[in-house]
Amino acid sequence: MGFWDGKRVIVTGGGGFLGGAVCRVLEERGVPASSVFVARSAVYDLRERAACEKLYRESFGGDPADVVIHVAGTVGGIGATMARPGEFFHDNAAMGLHLIEAFRGAGLIERGARFVMVGTAAAYPVGAPVPLREESLWHGLPSEAGASYGVAKLMAMEMLGAYRRQYGMRSGYLVPINLYGPGDHFEEERSHVAAALIRRFIEAADRGDREVVCWGTGSATRDFLYVDDAAEGIVRAAEVMEEPKAINLGTGRETPIRELAETIGAAAGFRGEIRWDTTKPDGAPRRFLDISRADELLGWRPAVSLEEGVGRAVAWYREWAGECGRLE
């Protein structure tokens, strides 16, 4: 228990994919449910300063929080971010801005409370050398597709640094790569590549399709991190970090999209052919993280292999989709 003994924790987005995993890790640490306050958007619109002030005032019956873990955000796949860049920028920038300032206004800095912010690897600039290192975050603009989301998250990191220098605010800042696992967003508009392929291969396997068509050549590489591993890194940062030094959370392993598709296809029971539509783009040829800083500062490394994680995600989706009537 140690650090968490008697601590009160606010988790924004605690009912979502990553936030839910953070709550599970806190439970594993021995933090009782009564000491974890999940800030839900239906009650607290964190894009509004008044709602953030209300959150700090109302959580735990008015008793002050000791740790705030900010996971909530307006998120989506590449199609959504390109279609609604203004919304993605405003919502994510406003949440960070108001939560951090309201944290100060609530007197939590003087109490030694910590604020842990979850950023995004979408903030890395186009053309940054791989493996991606934290020092590259400010060395250029992200791709147009993810710039509105990525820059909004980076603004919060800069704000945390400014509040550390002026007010002594204690904080941490994590940069997770592509997440996947149980509870992911499988809806077409919100899903990222791993979740989209899981849904596609399961549906194809159940229909008995002879082939699944995937975009590009399959040679592009990415870094896929199991959601519970990411949550462990976030909780670890809350335990040890004092300043918002960006820390990558990934596997440090290049996984070709072709390997991801084959792994998912096997787990889903798909026995047909995977055909690659080379008229469609691959995107960046290589993209994965250097995770040496996480090892050094947090003592953290991922524990779940791609095969194990995909198997868990496929099993979860089958059960969930079956209960929802999405699978025949």
Answer whether residue 267 is part of any domain: no
CATH number of the domain within which 99 lies: 3.40.50.720
- 3 state SS of 226: strand
pLDDT of 267 strictly over 70: yes
**Identity at 221, one-letter amino acid code:** T
Q: Where are the alpha helices (DSSP H) in the chain?
A: 17-28, 49-58, 78-83, 85-105, 147-167, 193-207, 227-240, 257-268, 292-298, 306-324
Q: For the chain, how many residues are written?
A: 328
Torsion angle (degrees, nearest 10) of CA 156, 247, 232, 172: -40
Answer whether residue 50 is part of any domain: yes
pLDDT of 266 strictly over 70: yes
Answer whether residue 198 is part of any domain: no
Q: What pLDDT score was predicted for residue 328?
A: 53
Q: Where in the sequence numbering do the catalytic residues fall? A: 149
Q: What integer is the mean pLDDT of 198-224? A: 96
Are 116 and 234 a contacting pair, CB within 8 Å? Answer: yes
Answer whether residue 320 is part of any domain: no
Answer whether residue 212 is part of any domain: no
Query: What is the rounded CA–CA span in Å between residue 175 and residue 210?
Result: 39
Q: What pLDDT score was predicted for residue 144?
A: 86
Give the gyration radius of the chain's Cα atoms.
20
Query: What is the rounded CA–CA span in Å between residue 59 and residue 49?
Result: 16
Answer whether residue 135 is part of any domain: yes
Which residues are CB-neighbours of 60 under 8 A, at least 6 positions away? 8, 35, 37
Q: What pLDDT score was predicted for residue 47?
A: 98
Picking from 64, 74, 18, the residue whose alpha carbon sits closest to that of residue 41 is 74
Q: pLDDT (tens digit, 9 = 90+) per residue, 8-26?
A: 999 999 999 999 999 999 9
- 3 state SS of 240: helix
Which residues are CB-neighbours of 263 under 8 A, at least 6 positions away? 306, 307, 310
Q: From the CB of residue 207, how many other CB atoms can be counted at a distance below 10 Å? A: 10
Q: pLDDT (tens digit, 9 = 90+) per residue, 22-52?
A: 999 999 999 999 999 999 999 999 999 999 9
Q: What pLDDT score was predicted for residue 327?
A: 60
Answer whether residue 147 is part of any domain: yes
78: containing domain: 2-182+224-253+286-304
Query: What is the rounded CA–CA span in Å between residue 122 and residue 136?
Result: 12
- Number of separate domains in the chain: 1
Q: pLDDT (tens digit, 9 = 90+) per residue, 286-309?
A: 999 999 999 999 999 999 999 999
Picking from 207, 200, 183, 178, the residue whose alpha carbon sits closest to that of residue 313 is 183
Q: What pLDDT score was predicted for residue 322?
A: 81
Predicted structure pTM score = 0.95
Answer whether residue 202 is part of any domain: no
Q: Percentage of residues in the chain with pLDDT exceeding 90?
A: 87
